[in-house]
Amino acid sequence: MTLDMAPEPGDAQRVAVEELAASGNAARMGESAADHVDVLVVGAGISGVGAAWHLAHQCPDLRFMVVERAESFGGTWLTHKYPGIRSDSDLYTFGYRFKPWTGTPIATAEEILRYMREVIADNNLDQRIHYRTAVESAAWDSAASRWTVTVRDLATDEARTVRASFLWMCQGYYRHDRGYTPEWPGMDDFRGRIVHPQEWPGDLDMTGKKVVVIGSGATAATLVPALAGKCASVTMLQRSPTYFMTGRNANELADTLRQLEVKEEWIHEIVRRKILFDQKAFADRAAAEPEAVRADLLANVRLHLGDAAPVEPHFAPTYRPWRQRIAFVPDGNLFTAIREGKASVVTDQIRNFTPEGIALQSGETLEADVIVTATGFNLNVLGDVAFTIDGKPLDFADTVTWRGLMFTGMPNMVWVFGYFRASWTLRVDIIADFVCRLLRHMQERGAKSVVPALRPEDGDMRLSPWVDTEDFNPGYLTRGLHLLPKQGDRAEWRHTQDYWLDKDILPAVDLDEPTLRYG
């Protein structure tokens, strides 16, 4: 029996595209878009759809539109189609605060798309979103206090301009069309197929194939158990291991509250708060007692693996637990696959590719028919849009961030960059509250522009990279750190990446503080 490991897009994706196209929402932008909007949202992934909901509910008098270069909404959950694609965060916190999650905590891409489609349909957001519309450039004109944005209709290759008073960049942080694959010697000699999870081909049949998955993070930990037992062999090849946390794909508190017939809105809020409380306690302990946390994590892996594979060196990272995101393995399925002999793990360095597979530094050779490079992302800075300010090209790396969401020298613009160690969407909701409050404040002041500006006393401020690599250092970030803004050593100019600080500080920010200048 032939098993196709890469089926056509799931029902959630297909139905979403068909329904939206039928409603006219997937029509070309030139057919319905106004020439000027108050707010232009770039991207219709988890951030952009959230931004649209908040604008519709908190600023109903403002005209806004969302542009998305893909054929439908979803971002990651639409473009990634590799086997087993699922969330790495629980949906009680990855889901929006305003939309209760009723499924299992770790959800498939189809389930997340279905959830997002309900948000769009239930709130009449479909007419606001224009698909297959790519932003190419954005020019700020101080005299007019507005952005002139050049967009291209990818269906007709026609360009047009949209004028927007405010830009809300929700396009994410990596390129969706191409993942990061290192260059190894001999790759052209390999007679099999090399694929990146972001570019999973629809015709890839794994039946009877020897598969090597290069990588050790959440993507590799998702792919390996999804492939195990459905191909001849699957090996996870890693240069260095990752910390893993396991647990049932269920939430006992949520299940109990449902048995008590508590309203789903209450369940969502209660469970969300409990998860965040537990995450904060874990993060604090990881920073205060890293060796104890490390021992606990390794003991848990050892419990799941049994004698199937040694924890050292395969699952014992050299870095401390808080320096990278800890990948979650629902129901321990990665370790179950290894324990049952359906998958294996090798920790070694790649010397070169051969026609038959991969030669390792240890002298061992891994035979392969298919090699999957689960080796990370290519960083995308502000959607690779060419920005100019009053005719001068903007170098984003020359700016200083204001609280991780606005930037010096960039008026009327906010970028949503979510959390590394907590769910991305938590910051979507917090930033949305801030943006809507800021827009209302500008209306009350009669201001047409707002831009962060360093104060005289900030002239001697020490600047540092967007993220402290001693605190967080995944490869995709360190490779692209030179492209990102700087941060300062004072509260207004910090990018803290700390949800538990942001949730209290951002709602209380004085919008008339001297670091924000209105025009």
The CA-atom distances, in angstroms, between 254 and each of 103, 116, 270, 276, 340 are: 10, 21, 8, 14, 31
| pLDDT grade for 163, boundaries at 50, 70 and 90 | very high
Confidence at residue 475, expressed as pLDDT on a 0 to 100 scale: 72
Average pLDDT over residues 148-177: 95
Average pLDDT over residues 215-236: 95
Residue 101 in contact with residue 92, Cβ under 8 Å? yes
Average pLDDT over residues 79-89: 93
Residue matched to tokens 């916190």: 93
- Angle between helical axes of 290-305 and 264-288 (0-180°, round to 10): 110
Q: Is pLDDT of 287 > 60? A: yes
* pTM for the full predicted model: 0.90
For the chain, percent of residues with pLDDT exceeding 90: 81
| pLDDT grade for 16, boundaries at 50, 70 and 90 | very low
Cis peptide before 313 (omega within 30 of 0): yes
DSSP 238-273: ESS---EEEE-SS-HHHHHHHHTT--HHHHHHHHHH
| pLDDT grade for 323, boundaries at 50, 70 and 90 | confident
Per the prediction, the chain carries an average pLDDT of: 91
- Out of 32-36, 58-62, 154-158, 392-396, least confident range: 32-36
Q: Which CATH number fits domain 11-176+379-514: 3.40.50.150, 3.50.50.60, 1.10.760.10, 2.170.16.10?
A: 3.50.50.60
Q: Is pLDDT of 116 > 60? A: yes
CATH class of 187-373: alpha beta
Going by the DSSP 8-state scheme, the letter that residue 360 receives in this structure is E
Residue 8: exposure state from Cβ atoms within 10 A (0-12, 13-18, ≥19): exposed
In three state form, how does the secondary structure of 121-185 look? Answer: HHCCCHHHEECCEEEEEEEEECCCCEEEEEEEECCCCEEEEEEEEEEEECCCCECCCCCCCCCCC
Residue 402: exposure state from Cβ atoms within 10 A (0-12, 13-18, ≥19): buried
**Separation between Cα atoms, residue 240 and residue 100, nearest integer Å:** 38
Confidence at residue 33, expressed as pLDDT on a 0 to 100 scale: 45
DSSP-based three-state secondary structure for 428: helix
Confidence at residue 173, expressed as pLDDT on a 0 to 100 scale: 87
Confidence at residue 226, expressed as pLDDT on a 0 to 100 scale: 96
**Separation between Cα atoms, residue 403 and residue 405, nearest integer Å:** 6
Average pLDDT over residues 19-46: 65
Confidence at residue 493, expressed as pLDDT on a 0 to 100 scale: 98
The CA-atom distances, in angstroms, between 485 and each of 162, 481, 482 are: 26, 8, 8
**What are the domain boundaries of the chain?**
11-176+379-514, 187-373
Confidence at residue 309, expressed as pLDDT on a 0 to 100 scale: 86
Tell me the pLDDT tens digit for each residue of 414-437. Answer: 999 998 888 999 999 999 999 999
Tell me the pLDDT tens digit for each residue of 165-205. Answer: 999 999 998 888 889 999 999 999 999 999 999 999 989 99
Confidence at residue 387, expressed as pLDDT on a 0 to 100 scale: 97
DSSP-based three-state secondary structure for 424: helix
Residue 433 in contact with residue 507, Cβ under 8 Å? yes
Q: Is pLDDT of 327 > 60? A: yes
Confidence at residue 331, expressed as pLDDT on a 0 to 100 scale: 93
**Separation between Cα atoms, residue 63 and residue 40, nearest integer Å:** 9
**What tokens does 138 get?**
């954005």
Confidence at residue 451, expressed as pLDDT on a 0 to 100 scale: 98
DSSP 291-307: HHHHHHHHHHHHHHHTT
Confidence at residue 20, expressed as pLDDT on a 0 to 100 scale: 41
Nearest one of 7, 352, 385 to 203, comparing CA atoms? 7
Tell me the pLDDT tens digit for each residue of 459-509. Answer: 999 999 998 877 776 777 788 888 999 999 999 999 998 999 999 999 999
Number of Cβ within a 10 Å radius of residue 58: 15
Confidence at residue 29, expressed as pLDDT on a 0 to 100 scale: 42
Domain 11-176+379-514 shares a fold with domain 187-373? yes
